[in-house]
Amino acid sequence: MEKSKKYILSESEIPKKWYNIQADLPGELPPPMIPAENRPAKPEELLKIFPKSIVEQEVTRERWIEIPDEVYDIYKIWRPTPLVRACRLEKALGTPAKIFYKNESVSPAGSHKPNTAIPQAYYNKIEGINNLSTETGAGQWGSALALAGTFFDMKITIFMVRVSYDQKPFRKTMIQT
């Protein structure tokens, strides 16, 4: 009998917390920079462009961050994503190691990017921000944020690179939809 190549957790096994790697680093990560002044940004300066809950997560060293129920319920639409064994890669490398990858193409936007776009939209929405804008290159991030905006009834404005806008009609249509 052939070994399994795809593993899928049950919905009840979706993590309820995000892991924060900062808790296990030997030192602190450098803070975001203020480019015009070439200096580290203070948390209060980040509040000009991010909601307080996102800034708090950026600077915390807590190991686990609770996933809000509203975000968790949306994740359940496509998560858990399949864990797939890369047998052909193992063979090509001639390795005895077992190599796996997460198939994030099963998300509504076709990538891993909704995993962060959904909470970013959520945290903005609960702090009273109803309009978001962003840029996107090939359209994956724009698709993810546009999707997130629909879940939280937000106005999302996407600025897409011209060449992608012209050459990727599927992404453009997904964003517009």
Domain ranges within the chain, ordered by starting residue: 17-66
Instruction: Tell me 66's DSSP state.
Output: E
Q: How far is CA 126 from CA 55, 74, 130, in A?
A: 14, 16, 9
Distance CA 80, CA 103 (A): 10
Q: What is the pLDDT of residues 81-122, one digit of tens each?
A: 999 999 999 999 999 999 999 999 999 999 999 999 999 999
Q: Which two tokens stand for residue 59?
A: 């600077």
Q: What is the pLDDT of residues 36-66, one digit of tens each?
A: 999 999 888 999 889 999 999 988 999 999 9
Let me know how many helices (H) and strands (E) the chain has, helices first.
8, 9
Question: pTM to 2 decimals?
Answer: 0.88
Strand locations in the chain (E): 6-7, 17-19, 33-34, 39-40, 64-66, 83-85, 100-102, 131-136, 155-160
